Amino acid sequence: MKPIDLQYKMPAEWEQHERTLLSWPILDSMVYPDDYATVCDGYEELVSAIAEFEPVTLIVNPDDLEKVSQRFEGQAVDFLPLEHNDAWLRDNGPTIVVNDKGERAGVNWHFNAWGGKYEPWDLDDAVAPAILKHLNIRQFDAPLVLEGGSIHVDGEGTMLTTEECLLNTNRNPDLTRAEIEQHVKDFTNVEQIIWLNRGLAGDETDGHVDNVACFAAPGKVIIQVCHDPADDNYEITQENLRILNDAVDAQGRKLEIIEIQQPPMVMHGEQRLTLSYLNFYFVNGGIILPVFGGTAEEADQHAMNVLQATFPDRKIRAINGMAVIREGGNVHCTTQQIPAQA
């Protein structure tokens, strides 16, 4: 039995949430372990910002529970003690689907740490079933590796993703493109997938779409663009822009495209950081937006202006994206929404 058989579908992220789930960072899994204290402070800012809008459940390794809980006294934050390897709950957590009666279920995708990049990942692969059991939500087990950051839906039958990630042989080497597409449709109940080509330069996730483009509403897409031909992201983003301009969604609409200019390049040692304003997160009544400061101040303000104009009824709540990204990802990568129950 699959979600599509029972008319469950993946709702748009901007629909009402019951709460947000996040996982607390683990020192042993840090890309830059010397930055652990800074990253934890960044997560504290992120969790507190989300808690201004909706309740938060924070997944914490049991040994860290006492010291982490002290950071959030008096806030709308509760805790789920659960062993995990890493902090990117968007990617290893469940995808919640909802039917016409407002009943919820959860998709348990296989997780292999972004194509086997970071060992071990056994605890992370067990997180989604543990969350669904804790929430007493029905579980559907999907027969493929997929991270939540690699897909984005409009709630009306259309999905955005990238070939670089979803078709990467380090995820599902034994499945064809057609088989992958059918599984994704069966477990999210989308009718049409718009395939972008590549994700941003330097992205260790092999091109997650949540750094590239997202729906702002049905028929409306925001994309981060680069206009400097000397930048690796120029060819990538211009190609994806052409794909979106040529695309038609599941309802037969041409897409309205909203562009956000990328922030200036920032290196951490020899590694380019994958900075993206598209890695924002919808909360009830607001948007949590990573900003980067320094040489990006002008671009930060531009991004805030574009998002405020696009979402005039939402509060744009900016946080320090440079703190969280030292763990390897950013705001959207850390979060997983639980849709409100009808």
Beta-strand runs (E) in 6-164: 17-23, 56-60, 77-81, 95-98, 104-110, 138-145, 152-153, 158-162
pLDDT at position 27: 86
pLDDT at 28: 82
pTM higher than 0.75? yes
Record the tokens describing residue 98, joined without a space: 């909802």
Half-sphere exposure of 261 (CA within 13 A, CB side): 12
Let me know: does 56 contact 90? Beta carbons within 8 Å. no
Whole-angstrom distance, CA of residue 304 vs CA of residue 325? 19
Burial class (CB within 10 angstroms; exposed 0-12, middle 13-18, buried 19+) of 36: middle
Q: Is 267 helix (H, G, I), strand (E, B) or coil?
A: strand
Say if residue 230 is exposed, middle or buried (CB neighbours under 10 Å; 0-12, 13-18, 19+).
exposed
Return the SS3 of 147. coil
What string of DSSP letters covers 102-119?
A: S-EEEEEEE--HHHHTSS
Regions of the chain where pLDDT drops below 70: none
- The dihedrals phi and psi of 5, each to the nearest 5 degrees, come to -65, -25
Q: How far is CA 269 from CA 31, 35, 219, 266, 272, in A?
A: 12, 13, 40, 10, 8
Query: pLDDT value at position 101?
Result: 94
3-state secondary structure of 13: coil
Per-residue tokens: 5 = 């058989």
* Helix H or strand E segment including 295: none
Q: Can you tell me whether residue 91 is helix, strand or coil?
A: helix
| Tokens encoding 307 | 């998002």
Predicted pLDDT of residue 342: 77
Asked whether the beta carbons of 139 and 155 are under 8 A apart, the reply is: no
Helix (H, G, I), strand (E, B) or coil at 188: helix
Structure confidence at residue 271 (pLDDT)? 85
Catalytic residues: 333
Task: Report d(CA 252, CA 63) in Å as an integer.
Answer: 52
Record the tokens describing residue 53, joined without a space.
């809008």
Domain 3-339 maps to which CATH number in 3.40.50.2300, 3.75.10.10, 1.10.150.80, 3.30.70.100?
Answer: 3.75.10.10
CB of 26 closer than 8 Å to CB of 86:
yes
Question: What pLDDT score does 189 carry?
Answer: 98
What is the rounded distance in angstroms from the CA atom of residue 226 to the CA atom of residue 43?
A: 28
Task: Output the CA–CA distances (angstroms, integers) from residue 153 to 1, 85, 219, 255, 324, in the order listed.
Answer: 22, 27, 11, 14, 25
Query: What is the β-pairing status of strands 271-272 and 267-268?
Result: antiparallel
Q: What is the pLDDT of residue 135?
A: 95
Q: Is the dihedral of CA 340, 260, 210, 320 positive or negative?
A: negative
Secondary structure of residue 173 in the 3-state scheme: coil
What are the domain boundaries of the chain?
Answer: 3-339
* Cβ count within 10 A of residue 134: 13
Taking the C-alpha atoms of 263, 269, 272 and 275 in order, what is their torsion angle to the nearest 10 degrees?
-40
The alpha carbon dihedral of 311, 40, 275, 84 has a sign of: negative
Amino acid at 142: A
